[in-house]
């Protein structure tokens, strides 16, 4: 898993269905880099483009005095409810343990037990062997 694919909001793009799929693959190497075919929603993301984040050159939202803000709480609620993942917990783990330990934890959590591929957070299916 790549560190630069951990978004400021705590989303791990390494496990995103759009990043993992072969057909119609996400062209962006995470939300931090804008490339030619980056979707408008990713380019204009209100969290990534948050004034505090940009002005203070924060890497992650946990660095902000307003963390967790309303937008992060909304995103976190949606991901906890739909996908059993928490951006707030991700950010707190990164803050308390560092990005390297977070990547280690994520590699274990999202590793397919059958083939070693990456489990897609949105569908809970291995991106390699399609097992659940």
pLDDT tens-digit series, residues 98-111: 999 999 999 999 99
Number of alpha carbons in the 13 Å side-chain half-sphere of residue 71: 16
Question: pLDDT tier at 18 (50, 70, 90 boundaries)?
Answer: confident
Where in the chain are the domains?
3-126
Contacts of 48 (CB under 8 A, 6+ apart): 7, 8, 9, 31, 32, 42
Instruction: Go through 12-25 and write b for each residue having 16 or more CB atoms within 10 A of its CB, e for each that does not.
Output: bbbbbeebbeeeee
Has residue 120 got a pLDDT over 90? Answer: yes
Residue 10 phi/psi, 5-degree rounding, is 100, 0
132, two tokens: 């659940």
Measured distance CA(101)–CA(107) in Å, rounded: 10
117, two tokens: 């591929």
Its pTM stands at 0.87
């Amino acid at each position: 898993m790549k560190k630069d694919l951990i978004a400021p909001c705590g989303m791990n793009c390494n496990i995103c269905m759009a990043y993992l799929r072969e057909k119609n693959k996400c062209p962006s190497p995470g939300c931090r880099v804008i490339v030619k075919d980056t979707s408008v929603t990713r380019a204009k993301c209100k969290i990534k483009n948050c004034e505090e984040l940009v002005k203070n050159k924060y890497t992650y939202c946990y660095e902000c005095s307003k963390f967790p803000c309303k937008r992060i709480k909304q995103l976190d609620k949606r991901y906890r409810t739909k996908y059993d993942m928490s951006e707030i917990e991700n950010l707190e783990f990164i803050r308390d343990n560092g990005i390297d330990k977070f990547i280690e934890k994520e590699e274990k959590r999202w590793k397919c037990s059958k083939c070693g591929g990456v489990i897609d957070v949105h569908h809970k299916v291995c991106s390699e062997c399609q097992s659940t």
